Amino acid sequence: MDNKFSIFNPTEEHQMLRDMVAGFVKEEVEPQALEYDRDEKFNLELMRKLGSLGLLGITADDKFGGSGMDATAAVIAHEELSYSDPGFCLAYLAHSMLLVNNFSVNAGVDLKSKYLPGMSDGSFIGAMAMSEPDAGTDVLGMTTTAELKGDKYILNGRKMWITNGCLDDNGTPADGVLVYAVTGKESSGRPQITTFFVKKDFKGFSVGQKIMDKLGMRGSNTAELVFENCEVPLGYRMGEEGDSLVHMMKNLEIERLTLAAMGLGIARRSLDAMVSYSNEREAFGKPIHKFGQIQRYIADSYAEYMAAKAYVYNTALGMGPEGSGDRKDSDGVKLVATTMSKNVADRAIQVLGGYGYVGEYVVERLWRDAKLLEIGGGTLEAHQKNITNDLIRDL
C-alpha cells in the first residue's frame, strides 16, 4: 500500500524516510511501548535517539541543524511512530512541531543559531505552553502576564496540560519552553499576546506537578508549569510584542496536520490487528472473518482509513513549515482523522473481544490514546466553528 510513489510517498526520499522510521519503530519503539504506558513513564533516551535520525528537527531550517524536510515528511514520521506508540509520538510532536518548527519559523537568527542545533540533535528537549487551568480553546482568555522591567520581562502565571513540561517524575523541567503571555492590550481592547522562550534555569520557573492517571497518552509526560516573577531576558522574546497570534496561526496548521497523521497510525495498527485476529480466530468451525458483521467492521475501517489518509496527505502537499494560510483543511483533516481513528480502534476491540480489552493486545491502548486527539491541539468543536466561519467568510 505504501511501497510505491504516490501521494503517500511523493519521492524516493519520502519512501526512504518511511522505511527508516518503520524500521526504528519495529526495533526500538514497539518493545518498550506497553511497559512505558503501564508505568506512565516518558522514554527520554529513546526520544534523544530520534535526533540521530534527523527526526527531531524534521521541518527545521537546515542552516541551523534541522533536516529542512516538508510537511509530508512530518506526516510520515508521525503516522509511523503512532502505529506503535501514540503516547511517545505525542511527546515527539510536542518537541518537533510545537517547539522546534515554531522556533525555526518565528525565532530570530541569534536564538536559532544558539538553540536549534541542540533541539534537532536531541540534546535539548522542550515544549510549548499555551493552555492554562482556565483557558484552553479560548486563547484570549489566558491570564499569564509578562511585564518589561529594564532589560527583562517578569513573567507570572500558570500553564496546564503541557506535554513535555517535565521530563521525569522528579519534576525536572523541559530544557526550554515557548510560553505565551499577555503583555498589554491592543487598541481594540483585545489582549496583546507575546511569545517568550523560557529556559529551565531561568529564575522563577518551576514544574508545579506531573499530571498522573490520564486516560491515554501515558507514554508522554503532562505537567503544570509555574512562573513566579520569572525573569526572561529581553532577547528571549520571539518577535515583537503582540506577535503571538501570528505565531500561533503559522504553527497550528502543521500541528493539526501531524495530530491527524497520528490518527492514521492508530487506525492502521488497529486495522492490522483486526485483520490478523479475524483470520486466526475461529467460531462455529470457521474463521470469524467469514461472518458478515466482522467483514463490516474490517471493510468500513479500511475505507474510512484510506479516505482520511488521502485527505491528510493531499493537505500536506500544499503546506510548508509556516502552514498554508488557509486553515480549513488543517482543521478538516484533524476533525476527520482523529474521530476515524477512535472509531477504528473501537471496532478492533470489538473484533478481538476479550483479548481486545487487555493491554497485551495493544488495541485498548490505541483506543485510549485516540481520544486525546479529539481534544488536544484544538477540540472537535473548535474545528467545526473554524471551518464554518471560514466558509461563510469565503462566500
Supply φ then ψ for residue 282, to 5 degrees: -115, 150
How many other CB atoms sit within 10 Å of the CB of residue 122?
A: 21
Distance CA(252)–CA(86), nearest Å, equals: 19
Distance CA(185)–CA(314), nearest Å, equals: 39
Distance CA(160)–CA(394), nearest Å, equals: 35
| Residue 253 annotated to the active site | no
- 108, three cell numbers: 530570530
Q: Which residue has the cell 493539526?
A: 256
Q: Report which of 164, 175, 33 is spatially closest to residue 118, judged by C-alpha positions.
A: 175
CB 190 within 8 A of CB 140: yes
Q: Alpha helix (H) ranges present in 122-243?
A: none
Largest CA-CA distance found in the chain, in angstroms, rounded: 80
Catalytic residue (choose from 255, 304, 364, 374):
255
* Catalytic machinery residues: 255
